[in-house]
Structure 1
Amino acid sequence: MSFKIAIIGAGSVGFTKKLFTDILCVPEFRDVEFALTDLSERNLQMIKSILDRVVEFNRLPTKVTATTDRRAALEGARYIISCVRVGGLEAYADDIRIPLKYGIDQCVGDTICAGGILYGQRNIPVILDFCKDILEVAEPGAKFLNYANPMAMNTWAAIEYGRVDTVGLCHGVQHGADQIAEVLGAKSRTELDYVCSGINHQTWFIDLRLNGRKIGQDELVAAFEAHPVYSQQEKLRIDVLKRFGVYSTESNGHLSEYLPWYRKRPDEITRWIDMSDWIHGETGGYLRYSTETRNWFETEFPQFLESAARPIDPAKRSNEHASHILEALETNRVYRGHFNVKNNGIITNLPQDAIVESPGFVDRFGINMASGITLPEACAATCISSINVQRMSVHAAISGDIDLLKLAVLHDPLVGAVSTPEEVWQMVDEMVVAQARWLPQYADAVPAAKERLSKSRIKTREWAGAARRDVRSIEELRAEKTALKQAV
């Protein structure tokens, strides 16, 4: 088979390499062309060098091109994969730093909450540019696979306003299933069957079967509380399981910022999180991790390049959905996964215009979703709160209506638990002004926002957060990696 796959934001080096090697695990895809595009010429050349090394070592006919000209990369592409972060780590730092001044402590800040909403405002205009190019120069009927967060907002905009055949992809369901299989003592995840449904990052394991035997709430709670690691790392997640009756796909840190109950006071934050790794609730944890990862890659690039000279092993193919979807569409080998699409009857007790994450099957006829799923009422209520925020956020990003943006932030569950309306109005002004270069739709609103900020008397504080860690140096990272190797 010979077709073209374009990867936008290919400078996300580690993830691009994973997608690339996954796809090449499919024997029929040896002759595929990969067109890489990114704003950074330097990052593009680094990832191209790595992928060229993979192709050369494995003696494949695969073609890899790299260009900062996005339309050239998209021209004739059958599949387009997006893993962009508009504004990079610079804008992301503001997503964490500015809300902290108003008492809003986020672990990740890329889905909803103040940081995730502003992230969506930056991404959506760019997503629509992608869609315009796809419709104009890609292969007719091209499919857009979005990996970029905020997943639901980006996918919503691409489907509703971009009018492109889009599916949103995440790996939270797979990671949650791995945990459940482990605590239940499964020999492998293949012994676990499950139905998981909801919205991205708030998806719920509503039916679990281990070797065909149904697993109930009490058994799952006992298994997690008995686990020596997860009982400490996932305290909040286990508490939600006890109260809601079902387990959430999302990590302790992610889940904590989608709810109004666990991060509203500093003493409550430290009670519910675990500092053994960023993903369990550390303040700005993903920002720290992302910064360290970037610094490590830039310093240790020769090592990454050398490690690319290895055989592609299909047994090590990851559980990221992209390669499996492409394989099913092109070869008719059926694949079951959990995908982000417009609801339209998939989940009965969520709004029909929402982007939901739910089970589906892929074959040559496309992505076929199971419909008629009903969530437990508490899960639906929590999802609806986020959906309302997402809807307003998408509409604000499209219209450039700063008042609607403020209302979206005001209705966010965690923001509403922490901040007053006056604080929210000022915080949004401050974030829009700080990120103006990435927010063209708000250009006309920026001067008035600056004027309001100059006259504001609302007090803020410089606060690192309840559980902040400093970015580690390259030397500290090297020492840690050495210690881990010696321990093994």
Structure 2
Amino acid sequence: MSFKIAIVGAGSVGFTKKLFTDILCVPEFRDIEFALTDVSEHNLGMIKAILDRIVEANKLPTKVTATTNRREALAGARYIISCVRVGGLEAYADDIRIPLKYGIDQCVGDTICAGGILYGQRNIPVILDFCRDIREVAETGARFLNYANPMAMNTWAAIEYGKVDTVGLCHGVQHGAEQIAEVLGAKSPKELDYVCSGINHQTWFIELRLNGRPIGKDELVAAFEAHPVYSKQEKLRIDVLKRFGVYSTESNGHLSEYLPWYRKRPDEITRWIDMSDWIHGETGGYLRYSTETRNWFETEYPQFLEAASKPIDPARRSNEHASHILEALETNRVYRGHFNVKNDGVITNLPQDAIIESPGFVDRFGINMAAGITLPEACAATCMASINVQRMSVHAAIAGDIDLLKLAVLHDPLVGAVSTPEEVWQMVDEMVVAQAAWLPQYADAVPAAKARLSKSKVKTREWAGAARRSVRSIEELRAEKAALKQAG
């Protein structure tokens, strides 16, 4: 087979390498072309050198090109994969820092809540640019695979306004299933059969079977509470499991910022999170992790390049959906996964226009969703709160409507539990002004926002958050890795 895959935001070096090696685990894909594109020529150079080394070491005919000219990369592409972070870590830092001034403590801030909504405002204009290029220069009928957050908002914009065949992809379901299989004592995650449905990062395991045996709420609660690690790291998720009756896919830290109950007071935050790793609820945890990862990669790049000389091992192919979807579409080997698509009747008690995440099957005819799923009422209610925020956020981003943007932020569950309307209005003004370079649709609104900020009397505070850690130096990271290696 010979076709072209374009990866937009390919400077996300580690993830691009994973997608690349996963796809090349499919024997029929040896002769394909990968076209890498990114706004950072520096990052493009690093990832191309790594992928070239992989191709050389494995004696493959695979072609790899790299360019900062996006349309050139997309020209003739059959598949376009996006893993962009618009604004980079600079804008992301403001997604965390500014809401903290108003008492909003986020662990990740890339899906909803104040940070996730502003992240969507930066991404959506760029997503629409991608879609325009796909329509104009990619292969007819090209498919857009979006890995970038905020998943639902980006996918919503691409489908509704970009008019491109789009699917959103995330690994939260797979990771949640692996946890459940482990606590139940399964020898392999493959022993667990499940139906998991909802919206991205708020997906619910509504049916569980272990080797064909149904697993109920009480057994699952007991299994998690008996686990020596998860009982400490996933306290909030276990509490939601007890109250809702089903387990959520999303990590303790992520889930905590989508709900109005657990992060609204500093003492509650420290009660429900675990500081053994950022993903369990640390304030700005993913920002710290991303910063450290970038610094580590820049410093240790020669090691990454050397590691690329190893043979590709199909047994180590990851459970990221992209390679499996492409394999199913191109070879007709059926793949079952969980995909972010427009609802259109898939989930009976969520809106038709919402972007849902639910089970589907892929073959040469495309992605075929399992329709007619009904969520438990509490799960649907929680999803609905986020869907309403997502819809307003997408519409605000498309129109450049700062008033609608403020209403979207006001209706966010955690923001509404913490902040007053006056605080929300000022916070949004401050975030739009700080991120104006990445918000072209709000250019006309920025001068008035600056004027309002100059006269505002709403009080703020400089607050690091309830559970903030400093970015570790390269030396500290080396020492920690050495200690882990010695202990292991």
TM range (shorter): over 0.9
- Offset, 1:103: 0.0
- Offset, 1:10: 0.1
Gaps of 5+ in 2: none
- Offset, 1:439: 0.1
Deviation per CA, 1:245-293: give whole Å up to 9, x if none.
Answer: 0000000000000000000000000000000000000000000000000
For 1:329 and 1:363, locate their aligned partners in 2 and report how far apart those are by CA, in whole Å.
Answer: 5
Secondary structure, aligned partner of 1:444: coil
For 1:468 and 1:40, locate their aligned partners in 2 and report how far apart those are by CA, in whole Å.
Answer: 29
For 2:112 and 2:398, locate their aligned partners in 1 and report how far apart those are by CA, in whole Å.
Answer: 17
For 1:302 and 1:310, locate their aligned partners in 2 and report how far apart those are by CA, in whole Å.
Answer: 14
For 1:88 and 1:258, locate their aligned partners in 2 and report how far apart those are by CA, in whole Å.
Answer: 23
For 2:214 and 2:20, locate their aligned partners in 1 and report how far apart those are by CA, in whole Å.
Answer: 37
Secondary structure, aligned partner of 2:195: strand
Secondary structure, aligned partner of 1:105: coil
- Offset, 1:442: 0.2
Deviation per CA, 1:304-347: give whole Å up to 9, x if none.
Answer: 00000001011000000000000000000000000000000000
For 2:439 and 2:445, locate their aligned partners in 1 and report how far apart those are by CA, in whole Å.
Answer: 10
Deviation per CA, 1:59-109: give whole Å up to 9, x if none.
Answer: 000000000000000000000000000000000000000000000000000
- Offset, 1:40: 0.3
Aligned to 1:438: 438
Secondary structure, aligned partner of 2:60: coil
The TM-score with structure 2 as length reference comes to 1.00
Aligned to 1:240: 240
- Offset, 1:409: 0.1
- Offset, 1:433: 0.1
Deviation per CA, 1:91-137: give whole Å up to 9, x if none.
Answer: 00000000000000000000000000000000000000000000000
Secondary structure, aligned partner of 2:167: strand
Aligned to 2:339: 339
- Offset, 1:438: 0.2
For 1:42 and 1:30, locate their aligned partners in 2 and report how far apart those are by CA, in whole Å.
Answer: 27
Aligned to 1:325: 325
For 1:148 and 1:63, locate their aligned partners in 2 and report how far apart those are by CA, in whole Å.
Answer: 25
Deviation per CA, 1:453-473: give whole Å up to 9, x if none.
Answer: 000011000000000000000
The TM-score with structure 1 as length reference comes to 1.00
Aligned to 2:463: 463
For 1:346 and 1:374, locate their aligned partners in 2 and report how far apart those are by CA, in whole Å.
Answer: 9
- Offset, 1:235: 0.0
Gaps of 5+ in 1: none
Cα RMSD of the aligned pairs, angstroms, is 0.2
2:162 maps to 1:157 = no
For 2:267 and 2:24, locate their aligned partners in 1 and report how far apart those are by CA, in whole Å.
Answer: 48
For 1:432 and 1:482, locate their aligned partners in 2 and report how far apart those are by CA, in whole Å.
Answer: 42
- Offset, 1:240: 0.1
- Offset, 1:223: 0.1
- Offset, 1:403: 0.1
Runs of 4 or more above 4 Å deviation: none
- Offset, 1:207: 0.3
The percent of aligned pairs where both chains have the same amino acid is 91
Between the two proteins, the alignment pairs up a number of residues equal to 488
For 1:191 and 1:117, locate their aligned partners in 2 and report how far apart those are by CA, in whole Å.
Answer: 38
For 1:271 and 1:481, locate their aligned partners in 2 and report how far apart those are by CA, in whole Å.
Answer: 28
